[in-house]
Structure formats: C-alpha cells, structure tokens
Amino acid sequence: MEKEKKNEFHLPEYYENRELSWLKFDARVLNEAKDKSIPLLERLKFVSITSSNLDEFFMVRVAGLIEQKAAGMDHVDAAGMNVEDQLRNIALSAHNQMKLKYRYFFALINELEKYAIRFFRVKDVTEDQRRELENYYQEMVFPVLTPMAVDAARPFPFLANKSLNIAVELRDQKGEQKIAFVQVPSVLPRFISLVGKEGERAYVFLEDLIMEHCQDLFKGLTIVDMVLFRITRDSDLEVEEDATQDLMKEIERSLRKRKRGAAVRLEINATDDKYLKDFLVKNLDLEPRDVYEIQGPLDLTFLNRFIDQPGMDQWKFTPYTGQQPEELPDYDDLFGKIREHDILLHHPYESFDPIVKLVAQAADDPQVLAIKQTLYRVSGNSPLVAALARAAENGKQVTALVELKARFDEENNIVWARRLEKAGCHVIYGLMGLKTHSKIILIVRKEEDGIKRYVHLGTGNYNDKTAKLYTDLGLLTANDQYGQDASAFFNVLSGYSEPPVFNKLVMAPIGLREKIYELVDREIAHVKAGGTGYIAAKMNSLIDQPVIRKFYEASQAGVKIDLIVRGICGLRPGIKGVSENITVRSIIGRFLEHSRVYYFANNGSEELYLSSADMMPRNLNDRVELLFPVERKAHIDRVKEFLDLCLKDNVGAHVMLANGTWRRAYPHGRKRISVQAAMMNRAKSHAPKKSMPMEQRLKPMVRKEE
C-alpha cells in the first residue's frame, strides 16, 4: 500500500511545469503595477522589471526548449508536458501577459499626465520643441545612424540581441521594391527631454524622432512603410569545460558566440502592412507564435532609467537606508565583537557595511595572514574586490574563487578576475562541471593565543548594490568548528582535497540533498511516534521533483509544512491525500525576497538552517552550495519571527491553490501586515542608539526667546 502511495506522487496533476510556473511568478510581479497603495513610479518599475525578466526567460528558457525541439528531443516533464506542449503554452501565456503589461503601462502613463509628465509624438510637439528636436537630431543623432540595405549584394544583416531597429519598405524611381534597416543607436538616451511649459516634463522617444527623419536617409526613394522591431536571441552560454585548458578563454569565446545566437522572439509594432512583418519572420526563421505585435513603445526596460531621473522622488518609495545592525553598535573592532558571539545580519534592513568593513579591516590588519572568499555576482565598482586586491598588495595570502559561469555576469567577472590576479591574488574558477554558488568568507588571523579563523556565511551575493534591494541573511562567527569547515571547503575548491566530513557545514552536490531528506524524515518519524512535525522553508524556487515527493510523503504522514517560495514552484499544495498539510505562498514587494531559510521543529528541539541553495536540480546536483545551522537561540527566534511575518503577510503575499493558480492575500478588514514594512520598522527600532558626541554634551543649553 505504501509503495502504491509513493508511486502516486509521480502523477502529472501533482506538479506544475517549471516554465509556466515562472510565467505565473512574472505575472505576480506585474500585478504590483495595479496596486494603488504603491507609489506611481514604483508601479512603473514593476512593469520594467517584468519586461527585463521576460527578456531573460526567452533568451535562456525558451531558447533551450527550441533547441530541444530542433534536436528531436521529446522529453515529458513531471507535469506531463512535452517540448511542443510547453512552447505552445508559453506562447499563449506570454502573449496574454504582454497585452496586460501594456494595458498597465498606458494606464500609468495616463496617471503621470496628471502631474504634467507627458510623452509626445514628434508630430504633436510645439514649434519651439520641434526646432529643439531638429537641432538634437542634426547634432547628435544623424551622425551615428547607419542605414543598412538588404539586397542580393547585401544580405540580411546581423541585428544585435535586444537592439531596437526600424524596418523600412521603399520604392525606387522605377517602382522596384527595396528593404532597409536603421538601427536605433543604443549609445544615445532612449527618451529625449524637451523644454516644456513651466512645471511640465515633456519627452519624445528617440525612435520616433529617427522615423520622422528617415526620408533623409533614403534620398531619391519613396518610403512605403516603416515599422519598429526588436529581436530576442538565444543567449545561453555553452562552455565545453571538459575540452578546455583555459576556462577564461573558453568563456570569452562563448561570449562572442552568444551575441550571434538564433532569434527566438520578434517584438514588432502593429502595422496594417504585413509585408515587413512577413519579411522579418521569414529571414529570422521564426514561427507565427514567436511574433509579438505591440501597440506602444517596445522594450519597456527603459522605464528604469526614466524613473531614476532627478526630481522624481515624490512619486517613489521614501528612501530606505540599511540600519546599523543591532548586534554591532560600531565597527571599531569587528574581530573582537565576532569573538564574543555569533552575529546575525539581515539585509537590506540592516546595512551590508559590516561585510565590506570586515574585509577592508582584514586587508590592512597586520595580524591577518590570509583571506579567502567566493565571488558569484559583484557590483560594478566592488569595494570588496578592491579590499581583496589591497590585501594581496599588502602581502597577505588572498584566494578568490570567481565564478566565471555566473549567467550574464561572465564578462564582469572576467574583468574582476584579471584585476585580482594582477594584484597578486590566487584566483580560482571553481570545480569542473560545477558552478560555485556558495557565499563564504574566511579570514585567518594570528592572535595572542594562536591562529583564529573568522567566517561569514550568507544566503546572498557579495554585492554591495543588490544588498540594498535583496533580502538576505548572513552569519558572522569565530566558532572554531566553522573555521575548520571553511578551511576544508576552500581546500576542496583550490586543490585536490577529497571532500571532508564537516563539523557544521553541509555542501552540495555531496550531501545537501541527503541532509534535507534526513531532516524531513526526522519530522515524519516524530509524527509516527505520536509527536508533531512541522517544517517552514523559504526559498526562491522549488522544482526538484525528489524533494517535492519527500514533502508529499511528509504531508501524507501528517507533517505540517509552510513553504514561502518567491518564484518557481513545481509543488501543488492542498491536494487531498497528497499535500493537504502543505501551504505555499509567494511574497512580492519593494525588495526582492532572496533569503533561503529551512526550519525544522524537531519535536521541540528546533533546528534552523540558512543556505545559498534553492530546491532545484541545478542547486542540489550541479552547483557548489552551502547549508549552515543557526545555533544561538536569540538568532533562531529572530528568524522565526521573520518567517511568522512572512506567513501572516496580507499585503505582498500570494497564496497558491491546489490547481496551481495563485490568489492575492488581502487583509479583508484585518490589520495590514507587510513583512517588509515590519522588518524595516524592526531594524530601525533595534538599531543601536548612537551616543551624543562629547562636544555636544558639553555644550550649554540656552532657552530660545519666544
């Protein structure tokens, strides 16, 4: 009987397709654009975010499915869908989402007009503005335009991924039809600001200005039709690790190849003339479902730059600055404070500065002998990289693992790797066939009582920019068992050391999956022994089928499971006899939920783990990840409070139903609870109060004259 039940866990109706689940996540993000409690420009930002998300989805996920189809692969996923099923359903969902996105976009643009912020067509501007545009075109635009003819001598040109282009249908004096392209220069701002009436902000799009002057580029010919379009290309990186002696050179070769990937999507302005559209579809080798006709400006990612213009703050969130961490009243002696006890950090509510300052202090500290750190995604001008380089220049042993295969950060990471090598750092690129996604720093320091190791472990990247936008947890510790584990971990990465038996850490791909199974099985055992079982887990994605089956098994045994999954979720909760003891919710908000937390009640002897890993095959099988325990009761209580707020959130939360659809959580007359707002308030109220400087305390108080 038990065997039959386990076999039932393979039924396709118990699973969500990965790609469609991701599109549902993007839809949840898009829905924030209609929430009137959110400032106007922040709502526009959600429109921009979904546009960027969808670009990457097509560049990687859809491109991969198209390649599978071309190769004749007909794999059926856990949800019972083959490749063609997935492509068909993706197209249907993406087309609907595109229509909704532009409905929200135009609604928000109309709202902006109430505040005298307007976008104009060139033909609708005033005479003074027209002259202003004419000057701008002649001085800035025309010199960088290059019309590209398409004929027998000049074949269909290569058009860059995500670039804006104008297709032009022409007739010569003999009446012969001709085709040409004009690329909208990406080196120029997408929107042009005009001098408007007092208090008015007026803008026109660069492509509209070019189209107004297109005739100047084709003298002696007649323009029959013009249409703006944008191509999305296959941009997944294919690296032949087994066949290369130099991973950096192989990555650079693959990056050049990426730029010329096959087209997977065509976005095009709606036009009554089908000729240009058909011409593009044929030459790009696309199917009709790959064509997205749009009535409005293409590529809404420009909204990010639009929103960030000066003078727009009144329509945005009140700026939030990460607070001084409650366990760090100052940064004067970070090593001393970490020696006292473990320190828990919660970003962006608490500042990321302690991590930056710790590495910076270590770089200049004569007692520090070595610094080792993993780098997956770093900021454009990373103070951490600068500190590591300075440490090496100061004669310290510095080892930096720079993950060259971090998707869409490859070029950036190559730059940093070369800078670090130049400074004298030992730079490594991880293990063959695996991405190193773990977040760990090890600092080795010579102290009076001998060698002391300081460790930072986190759920998020060492990126000081995204640390202000992503929610992540981190642990600072001088616990010697952590220190031993960290040393052993880096020895595995940098040498030929066999994977060790860790004291505290759990590492993927050689134990993390098994550890999760073990912890879930223990909750099952507690229930079977007459106790209670409870699991709360927060992650970005849950798609690993064996882990899902393990959660189903636990639910069936009577273990209560609360899942907080921001993005992809392949598990369906609330199915009678299978997952009726499981809830799934997703939280969308001002910050991107990024922390991974795994809590197990353990019949009263609770255990809490943080991790760099989501429950996905790639994290558990193909990446170097770390899972680590949080052991101080005060820290466990803090994280439990956070998880509890996530489960009570009725502002940014969405709840998954048994059929795979999502429902927004609303207060319905109850108190509004936003986990992100609550955590901001908590960080402010718990931040150490800075003492008044001595010169102010000694200053005499004088009563002001009324």
pLDDT, residue 466, reads 92
Cis, peptide link before residue 155, omega less than 30° from 0? no
Q: To the nearest whole number, what is the mean pLDDT of the chain?
A: 90
pLDDT, residue 402, reads 82
Q: Between vectors from CA 609 to CA 603 and to CA 614, what angle results, nearest 5°?
A: 120
Taking the C-alpha atoms of residue 27 and residue 21, their distance in angstroms, rounded to an integer, is: 10
Query: For the residues 141-166, what does the mean pLDDT come to?
Result: 89
Query: For 619-661, what is each residue's pLDDT tens digit?
Result: 999 999 999 999 999 999 999 999 999 999 999 999 999 999 9
Query: For the residues 502-512, what does the mean pLDDT come to?
Result: 95
**Which residue type occupies 18?**
R
Task: Kindly state the percentage of the chain with pLDDT values over 70.
Answer: 91
Per-residue pLDDT band for 696 (boundaries 50, 70, 90) equals low
Using alpha carbons, select from 65, 58, 102, 448 the residue that is nearest to residue 297: 102
The pTM (predicted TM-score) of the whole model is 0.91
pLDDT, residue 256, reads 54
Per-residue pLDDT band for 3 (boundaries 50, 70, 90) equals very low
pLDDT, residue 578, reads 95
Burial zone of 206 (CB within 10 Å; 0-12 exposed, 13-18 middle, 19+ buried): buried
pLDDT, residue 241, reads 46
Radius of gyration of the chain (CA): 28
Burial 333-349 (b: 16+ CB within 10 A, else e): ebbebbeeebbbbbbbb
Query: For the residues 175-187, what does the mean pLDDT come to?
Result: 92
Query: For the residues 274-293, what does the mean pLDDT come to?
Result: 93
CB atoms under 10 Å from CB of 671, counted, come to 7
Handedness of CA 438, 439, 444, 450 (dihedral sign): negative
Per-residue pLDDT band for 7 (boundaries 50, 70, 90) equals low
Q: Is the pLDDT assigned to residue 336 strictly greater than 60?
A: yes
CB atoms under 10 Å from CB of 692, counted, come to 10
Q: What are the Cα distances from residue 254, in Å, to 212, 241, 404?
A: 39, 11, 12
HSE on the CB side for 580, CA within 13 Å? 6
**Of 387-391, 490-494, 543-547, which gets the smallest average pLDDT?**
490-494
Taking the C-alpha atoms of residue 362 and residue 371, their distance in angstroms, rounded to an integer, is: 8
> Which parts of 213-273 fold into alpha helices (H)?
214-217, 247-258
Task: Kindly state the percentage of the chain with pLDDT values over 90.
Answer: 74
- Give the total residue count for the chain: 706
Is-contact 475 629, C-beta < 8 A? no
Taking the C-alpha atoms of residue 497 and residue 489, their distance in angstroms, rounded to an integer, is: 9
Per-residue pLDDT band for 274 (boundaries 50, 70, 90) equals confident
3-state SS of 668-692 is: CCCCCCCHHHHHHHHHHHHCCCCCC
What three-state secondary structure class fits 12? helix
pLDDT, residue 318, reads 94
Pull the structure tokens for residue 498: 């066999």
Using alpha carbons, select from 568, 554, 539, 549 the residue that is nearest to residue 656: 568
Q: Please state whether beta strands 397-402 and 368-375 pair in parallel, antiparallel, or not at all (unpaired).
A: parallel
Taking the C-alpha atoms of residue 349 and residue 358, their distance in angstroms, rounded to an integer, is: 19
Query: For the residues 209-227, what does the mean pLDDT come to?
Result: 92
Taking the C-alpha atoms of residue 72 and residue 89, their distance in angstroms, rounded to an integer, is: 19
Pull the structure tokens for residue 22: 């991701």
Helix axes 40-56, 83-113, angle to 10 degrees: 160
Q: Is the pLDDT assigned to residue 239 strictly greater than 50?
A: no
Per DSSP, the residues of 594-632 read --EEEEE-GGGS-EEEEES--BSHHHHHSEEEEEEEE--
Query: For the residues 525-538, what does the mean pLDDT come to?
Result: 96
Query: For 85-144, what is each residue's pLDDT tens digit?
Result: 999 999 999 999 999 999 999 999 999 999 999 999 999 999 999 999 999 999 999 999
Per-residue pLDDT band for 612 (boundaries 50, 70, 90) equals very high
Helices and strands in the chain, H and E counts: 22, 27
Query: For 358-414, what is each residue's pLDDT tens digit?
Result: 999 999 999 999 999 998 877 668 899 999 999 999 999 999 888 765 555 566 667
Using alpha carbons, select from 202, 195, 36, 35 the residue that is nearest to residue 115: 202
Per-residue pLDDT band for 152 (boundaries 50, 70, 90) equals confident
Q: Between vectors from CA 454 to CA 451 and to CA 458, what angle results, nearest 5°?
A: 160
> Which parts of 440-568 fold into alpha helices (H)?
480-494, 512-528, 545-557
pLDDT, residue 697, reads 52
Query: For 24-77, what is each residue's pLDDT tens digit?
Result: 999 999 999 999 999 999 999 999 999 999 999 999 999 999 988 888 888 899
Q: What are the Cα distances from residue 151, in Å, to 43, 59, 218, 625?
A: 45, 29, 15, 53
CB atoms under 10 Å from CB of 137, counted, come to 20
Is-contact 201 129, C-beta < 8 A? no
**Of 205-209, 221-225, 378-382, which gets the smallest average pLDDT?**
378-382
pLDDT, residue 701, reads 58
Per-residue pLDDT band for 237 (boundaries 50, 70, 90) equals low
Query: For the residues 12-19, what does the mean pLDDT come to?
Result: 95
Q: Is the pLDDT assigned to residue 229 strictly greater than 70?
A: yes
Burial zone of 201 (CB within 10 Å; 0-12 exposed, 13-18 middle, 19+ buried): middle
Taking the C-alpha atoms of residue 400 and residue 640, their distance in angstroms, rounded to an integer, is: 33
Which of 347, 437, 526, 594 is the catalytic position? 437
What three-state secondary structure class fits 587? strand
Active site residue 437: yes
Q: What are the Cα distances from residue 88, in Å, to 44, 80, 83, 280, 490?
A: 29, 14, 9, 21, 45
Strand ordering across the sheet containing 164-171? 147-150, 177-183, 164-171, 222-233, 263-269, 291-294
